[in-house]
Amino acid sequence: MRRLDLTQPVLLGFLALFCGCATEDRRGTLSTCEVHHLQMRSVTIPLVVGWVDHFSEDYSRANRSVFPNAYPEGPASKWKRERIYVCQRCVDARQNWLESHKSAF
Q: What is the rounded distance in angstroms from the CA atom of residue 101 to the CA atom of residue 62?
A: 11
pLDDT of the residue at 10: 61
Per-domain residue ranges of the chain:
19-104
Question: How many Cα atoms within 13 Å fall on the side-chain side of residue 41?
Answer: 9
The model's pTM is 0.72
What 8-state DSSP symbol labels residue 49?
A: -
Q: What Å distances lie between residue 98 and 38, 47, 64, CA to CA?
A: 22, 23, 14
Q: pLDDT tens digits for 10-20?
A: 655 555 555 55
CA nearest to 40, candidates 92, 90, 82: 90
Residue 90 in this model has a pLDDT that exceeds 70: yes
Q: pLDDT tens digits for 31-57?
A: 999 999 999 999 999 988 876 666 788
Q: What is the rounded distance in angstroms from the CA atom of residue 87 to the CA atom of residue 54?
A: 23
